[in-house]
Amino acid sequence: MEKEEFSLKLYLDPGHGGTDPGAQGNGLNEKDVTLNIALKIRDILTNSYESVDIKMSRTTDVSKSLSERTTEANSWGADYYLAIHINAASGSAQGYEDYIYSSLSDSSTTAKYQSTIHEEVIKLNQLKDRGRKKANFHVLRESTMPAFLSENGFIDNSHDAALMKQSSWRQDVAQGHANGIAIAFNLKRKTNNPPEPPEPSNPVTGTLYKVIAGSFQSRENADERVAFLEANGIDAFVKPTTIAGKNWYRVQAGANSNRENAEKRLAEVKAAGITDAFLVAENGVTTLESADRNSIMGPTQLSAGQMNSFVKGINPDAMELGSLYQTLGEYYGIRGDITFAQAMHETNYLRFTGVVQPEQNNFAGIGATGGATRGASFATPKDGVLAHLQHLYAYASTEPLPDQYPLVDPRFQLVERGSAPNWTDLNGKWAVSGETYGQSVLDLYERMVDSSN
């Protein structure tokens, strides 16, 4: 029967989750990448197309069996089953491939959908094309509607994994899937969403993208940065800003109403050696460039509410630490939001599944050196957050500790001052941290930002 309105009931299934991390490599878990891509697919389809009804197997990091997923899709009466996965092999294999059920013919409707989506994804994903394939996978076999499963790169391959770490790549992969679905099912675009973004500027929002090539608490350092940029042929100037009563000197190296042009300038600035440069939109929304948040010192960008609601989406019983990290982070000039992400990493989202117990108020694993060593204890959550920030301050700054609050970090004096200005500098330094520790914290932070968008 032909439908009058174009409509689609899409079951969207990010692979793995919860206790099942899926494939792992290069500091990444498959379950996190698949969830992030799937959420972006959902957002693109619901924002840009009419009459798309999407049910997701999961929207957070929870466990769900394969049969629960297919049973849910079947009983809901989905028109299409879209599963997102990441591959793994030996480390040398790389690229993209997708699957339909093995018994289907090349002329089947399911195979035609596969061709369409495959073609659209390959246009955008920068991955080697390993082709369209068939397999006897559970979700392809047990689903009663046409089903498709994509393997978006190899997590244990350094080329593919480097792409996976970029928010812009995950967005492109999501866009490719969304484009394929839209074509395959002839979805009708929402009229308030023009097919092409306006060029060269964005007159609807008037957004201006500024290239920030450093933020300093010392004017002298900011001036030095400007001189360095000008010596490299890049015009720049210092712009003082006040954040929670503290003066910051931002170095701005260009601005453009066209995002692409701003990104080109950003690339030039990075090529000149300022690898922590980043873009800021005039409305204050910061982009997710991976390097823009590597600095431990800097202004907090997420609100306390955004931090709290992120953790509660994963652990509904979590205590609310957002405002402590926000206000005390600002006092020390430390990224309170990324520090919060570090606490979520250390405490398994305040579930305290490691050796540190909740009553210790030790959100940073201070003094917990592995084995049965439970680490430091703090009288109140506020003291625990203070100790966390003070410990970071010891690593990130050579300045004396601001003295409005007493020193509660028992290990402050043991830190080589200024030895880790960036989150990734904490690799191998922070408690029992590993070689990708900082990246894990930043990845978690990126998920916080994504979930608050």
Which residues sit at the interface with Zn ion, rule CB under 5 A?
15, 22, 85
Which lies closer to Zn ion via its Cβ, residue 22 or residue 214?
22
Quote the tokens at residue 341. 């992400």
Contact by Cβ (8 Å): 418, 397: yes
Quote the tokens at residue 23. 């494939």
CB 337 → Zn ion: shortest distance, Å?
30
CB 127 → Zn ion: shortest distance, Å?
16
Contact by Cβ (8 Å): 117, 85: no
Per annotation, catalytic residue among 120, 151, 289, 346: 151
CB 44 → Zn ion: shortest distance, Å?
22
Residue 80: strand pairing partners: 10
Which lies closer to Zn ion via its Cβ, residue 134 or residue 265?
134
Q: Report which of 17, 7, 85 is spatially closest to residue 45, judged by C-alpha positions.
A: 7
DSSP state at residue 413: G
CB 351 → Zn ion: shortest distance, Å?
24
Tell me the longest C-alpha to C-alpha distance in the chain: 75
Q: Which long-range contacts (CB under 8 A, 24 or more apart) does 157-162 make?
A: 157/25, 157/89, 157/91, 157/92, 157/93, 157/94, 158/26, 158/91, 159/94, 160/94, 160/95, 160/127, 161/25, 161/26, 161/27, 161/28, 162/26
Quote the tokens at residue 234. 């890049």
CB 383 → Zn ion: shortest distance, Å?
42
Which lies closer to Zn ion via its Cβ, residue 22 or residue 298?
22
Q: Is 151 a catalytic residue?
A: yes
Quote the tokens at residue 122. 């390959």
Which lies closer to Zn ion via its Cβ, residue 85 or residue 170?
85
Kind and range of the H or E element at 326? helix 322-332
Distances (CA, A) of 331 to 94, 251, 336, 390: 46, 22, 10, 11
* Orientation angle between helical segments 304-314 and 322-332, nearest 10 degrees: 140
CB 62 → Zn ion: shortest distance, Å?
16
3-class secondary structure, 150: strand
Q: Which residues are part of the catalytic machinery?
A: 151
